[in-house]
Copies of this chain bind each other. A is one copy, B any other.
């Protein structure tokens, strides 16, 4: 199983487990989280790039993997992604470099899938 598939499997399994636990606050938080990235006066692509940069400066690898996949799904180009990541690098400093590596690694895995005609799924 590839990294992306393992990421998806674990994320899906644990989210189901957590949402089935019956804590209403957590369920509502997950709903708010999804809605925050839906189209409004800002489009989804912009919001996903914002989410990626926020995840990078906060240095959360799983969040970076998630938003990189979402950016690819929304049609963000490589150049756009690198410009957004450059802002993250300048804001967050060299401490974000290992996470920059993770974002680019995920990007490359997504592009590889696209080259093979496979869907980039979450």
Size of the chain A interface, CB-CB below 8 angstroms = 63
Q: Is A79 at the interface (CB under 8 A from chain B)?
A: yes
Q: Is A63 at the interface (CB under 8 A from chain B)?
A: yes
A54 touches B51 (CB 8 A): no
Q: Is A105 at the interface (CB under 8 A from chain B)?
A: yes
Give the interface centre of A35, A63, A82, A96 by most chain B CB atoms within 10 Å.
A82
B32 touches A95 (CB 8 A): no
Alpha-carbon gap, A85 to B5, bound state (A): 27
A36 touches B87 (CB 8 A): yes
The chain B residue sitting closest to A57, CB to CB, is B54
**8 A-B interface contacts by CB (under 8 A):** A22-B79, A26-B82, A28-B28, A29-B32, A41-B80, A57-B58, A63-B98, A92-B93
